Amino acid sequence: MKKYLAIILSIFMVVGLLAACAPAATTAAPAATAVAETTAAPAAAMGNTIYVMGPTPDHGWTAQAGAYAEAKVQAINTEGKYKAVYLPASTGEEQVDQVQTILANGDSAGVVFFALEDSAKAGQEALIAANVPFISFDRIIEGPDKSSILNASGDNWQCGAGIAYWLQQKGMAPGDIMVTLIGDNGTVCSRRQEGFEQFLRGEIEYFDQDKNVTYKTSKVWTQAEIDALTAKYKTVCNWSADGAYGYLEQKIGEIVADAKPQGSLYVYSMDDEMTFGFLNLLEGNTVAADVKADLADMDVYISAIGGMAELYSVIDGTSPQSATAQMYFDDMMSVYFSPKMFENVINYMLDYLNGNWSYKVGDGKYEPVWIVDKDNVSKYEGFKGHA
């Protein structure tokens, strides 16, 4: 009898164990999948500190973005719900070291990561490995962007589309000569170039928020026509006026001679600082007088991106450099790309931590941009650029 009871009890124990294990195996996987796909609620955080990683204030757009971020961090600390820390850096490698410090502290609720260089990628990968939620801002590094809770920046494709539209309205056509001044080889400029080419091919439109009007290309270009326009004169300036100055100082004679038969020259500058590099060169004495004379006789149109107060003053005619611009440039503009968006991105992290979140992991959020020129420059306040 005892033998039979033992057998029966053994059967009940096995059935009970199977019943206890089965629900856990069937419910855990869907729950994990839902979090990975939607990020509807914050991931488990190690602590209560929001780390904001950005530039060491020096000058220009990045310095002003950092100033907005530091002010927002201060406001979060004053409010008291979260602790916030701003971590300035000068290189991507320094940011990787900062991530190691964040992980060692063990108190992170989330990180807002303004990567200064692609070399910061290892830092983002370390956050992913440690399951620390982060928002990627401005420079979106491919690879880690698939795991960030949000990728936020200004709409760089629309920056390029807006400049393509503006230069085309000024007469740019296949066969013309264009100079392209590139910030660096990261996603910011590659997306600006993509938008420029996509607009000319008729694949995207440019929406001008200032005028509330959408524009299409007036002529659909072939890729061969675009390549001929963009391939010959281009350089990476490292976001520097000096970088643009040095390249143009070497090439300006050749560029002007090449453009002289058409009677026009177009300059696709991807940043205000690099546009100043061209202005500074023309104010100096290193360009031959005959080259300057030929340049003054041509129709020259130059772009910029940013919104420096100093460039707005050139555009509206109140800067000491306005006379140089008026002598050599027939028109100029700058796509409005506000550094204040860094503050907005920190607010997105607060939304995430407070459960006010509808984005999926890897989603992008891109703030609108638009053309500022002599017709509307009085409506906008620029940021302090030069140190």
| Whole-angstrom distance, CA of residue 280 vs CA of residue 285 | 10
Say if 107 falls within a structural domain: yes
Task: Choose the final residue of a domain: 106, 127, 148.
Answer: 148
> 86: phi > 0 → left, psi -120 to 50 → alpha, else beta; which?
beta
Burial degree of 201 (CB within 10 A; 0-12, 13-18, 19+): middle
Print the domain residue range for 99.
49-148
CA 374 to chain centroid, in Å, comes to: 25
Say which residue the tokens 């590099």 belong to: 277
Burial of 286 (0-12, 13-18, 19+ CB in 10 A): exposed
22 found inside a domain: no
Residue 14 lies in a domain: no
* CA–CA distances in Å: residue 196 to residues 192, 217, 227, 331: 6, 11, 12, 19
Please indicate, yes or no, whether residues 229 and 294 belong to a single structural domain of this protein. yes
Number of domains within the chain? 2
Q: Are residues 329 and 248 in the same domain?
A: yes
User: How far apart, in whole angstroms, are the C-alpha atoms of residue 166 and residue 170?
Assistant: 6
Is residue 376 classed as helix, strand or coil in its secondary structure? coil
Question: 108-114 and 206-208 as β-strands: parallel, antiparallel, unpaired?
Answer: unpaired
189 is a domain residue: yes
323 inside domain: yes
- Domain co-membership, 55 together with 111: yes
> What is this structure's pTM?
0.85
Q: Indicate which CATH number applies to the domain containing 169.
A: 3.40.50.2300
Of 374, 349, 384, 179, nearest in space to 275 by CA: 179
- pLDDT, residue 62, reads 87
**DSSP assignment of 3-63, as one string?**
HHHHHHHHHHHHHHHHHHHHHHHHHHHHHHHHHHHH--SPPPPSSSEEEEEEEPP-SHHHH
Burial class (CB in 10 A: 0-12, 13-18, 19+), 280: middle
Q: What's the pLDDT at 380? A: 95
Q: What is the pLDDT along the chain (387 residues), one digit of tens a residue?
A: 333 334 333 433 333 333 333 333 322 322 332 333 444 445 445 699 999 999 987 667 888 899 999 999 999 999 999 999 999 999 999 999 999 999 999 999 999 999 999 999 999 999 999 999 999 999 999 999 999 999 999 999 999 999 999 999 999 999 999 999 999 999 999 999 999 999 999 999 999 999 999 999 999 999 999 999 999 999 999 999 999 999 999 999 999 999 999 999 999 999 999 999 999 999 999 999 999 999 999 999 999 999 999 999 999 999 999 999 999 999 999 999 999 999 999 999 999 999 999 999 999 999 999 999 999 999 999 988 765
Residues 85 and 171 in one domain: no
Secondary structure element (H or E) that encloses residue 296, with its range = helix 289-297
**Which H helix or E strand runs over 75?**
helix 60-79
CA distance 221 to 200: 5
Largest CA distance in the chain: 116
Asked if residue 114 lies in contact with residue 54, where contact means CB atoms within 8 angstroms, the answer is yes
Same domain for 186 and 263, yes or no, is yes
The DSSP secondary-structure symbol of 205 reads -
Q: What is the pLDDT of residue 386?
A: 60
User: Is-contact 234 182, C-beta < 8 A?
Assistant: yes
| Residue 29 domain-assigned (yes or no) | no
Give yes or no: residues 283 and 136 share one domain: no
pLDDT at residue number 60: 79
Residues 138 and 167 in one domain: no
Pairing of strands 334-336, 305-306: parallel
Q: What is the CA radius of gyration of the chain?
A: 27
Q: What's the confidence (pLDDT) of residue 130?
A: 97
Same domain, 222 and 277: yes
